[in-house]
Amino acid sequence: MKCRISVTLLFSTVLVLPAFAQQTNSNSSAQPAASADRTAPASQSVSTSGREPLQPMTSEDFWDGDEPNVVNLVSHPFARKSYVQRQIRPIRDRVNELDALTASNAKMIKDTDTSAQQGIQLVSAKTNEADQHAIDARNRAQTAQLAATQATAHLSKAEQMVGNVDQYKADAQTEIRFRPGQSVLSKKAKDALDEMAAPLKDQHSYIIEVRGFAPGHGQAAIANSQKMAHSVVRYLMLNHKIPSYRIYVVGMGNAPVAAEDGTRAKHTSSGRVEISLLKNDLLSSAQH
User: What are the tens digits of pLDDT across the range 148-184?
Assistant: 888 888 777 666 655 555 567 888 889 999 988 888 8
152 and 214 together in one domain: no
222 and 279 together in one domain: yes
182 and 283 together in one domain: yes
Q: What is the mean pLDDT of residues 42-53?
A: 51
Q: What is the enclosing helix (H) or strand (E) of 264?
A: none
Assess if residue 64 is contained within a domain: yes
CA distance 80 to 23: 19
63 to 76, 79, 137, 193, 283: CA distances (angstroms)? 8, 6, 89, 147, 128
- Comparing 104-118, 130-144, 166-180, the range with the smallest average pLDDT is 166-180
CATH code for position 241: 3.30.1330.60
156 and 240 together in one domain: no
Of 128 and 258, more confident: 128
DSSP 243: -
Q: What is the mean pLDDT of residues 48-54?
A: 57
Residue 123 in this model has a pLDDT that exceeds 70? yes
Torsion of CA 92, 98, 104, 106, to 10 degrees: -120
Per-residue pLDDT tens digits for 224-263 = 999 999 999 999 999 999 998 999 999 888 888 766 655 5
Assess if residue 87 is contained within a domain: no
Q: What is the mean pLDDT of residues 128-135?
A: 92
Per-residue pLDDT tens digits for 21-35 = 444 444 444 444 444
Which pLDDT score, from 0 to 100, does residue 4 have?
Answer: 55
139 and 231 together in one domain: no
Of 211 and 264, more confident: 211
Assess if residue 84 is contained within a domain: no
Residue 46 in this model has a pLDDT that exceeds 60? no
214 and 241 together in one domain: yes
Domain that holds residue 105: 101-163
- Comparing 89-103, 176-190, 264-278, the range with the smallest average pLDDT is 264-278
Which pLDDT score, from 0 to 100, does residue 64 have?
Answer: 54
174 and 159 together in one domain: no
186 and 270 together in one domain: yes
Last residue of a domain, one of 163, 194, 212: 163
Assess if residue 96 is contained within a domain: no
Question: How many C-beta atoms surround the C-beta of residue 261 within 10 A?
Answer: 5
Residue 10 in this model has a pLDDT that exceeds 90? no
Assess if residue 63 is contained within a domain: yes
180 and 266 together in one domain: yes
Last residue of a domain, one of 137, 163, 189: 163
117 to 106, 122, 172, 265: CA distances (angstroms)? 16, 9, 86, 102
222 and 207 together in one domain: yes
**What amino acid is encoded at 98 in this protein?**
L
Reported as a pLDDT band with limits 50, 70 and 90, residue 56 is low
Per-residue pLDDT tens digits for 189-212 = 999 999 999 888 888 788 999 999
Assess if residue 181 is contained within a domain: yes
Phi and psi at residue 274, to the nearest 5°:
-100, 125
Which pLDDT score, from 0 to 100, does residue 191 have?
Answer: 93
Last residue of a domain, one of 30, 47, 79: 79
Q: Within its chain, how far is the Cα of 210 from the centroid?
A: 63
190 and 277 together in one domain: yes
Q: What is the mean pLDDT of residues 106-112?
A: 92
151 and 185 together in one domain: no
pTM confidence score: 0.42
Report how many domains make up the chain.
3
Which pLDDT score, from 0 to 100, does residue 215 have?
Answer: 87
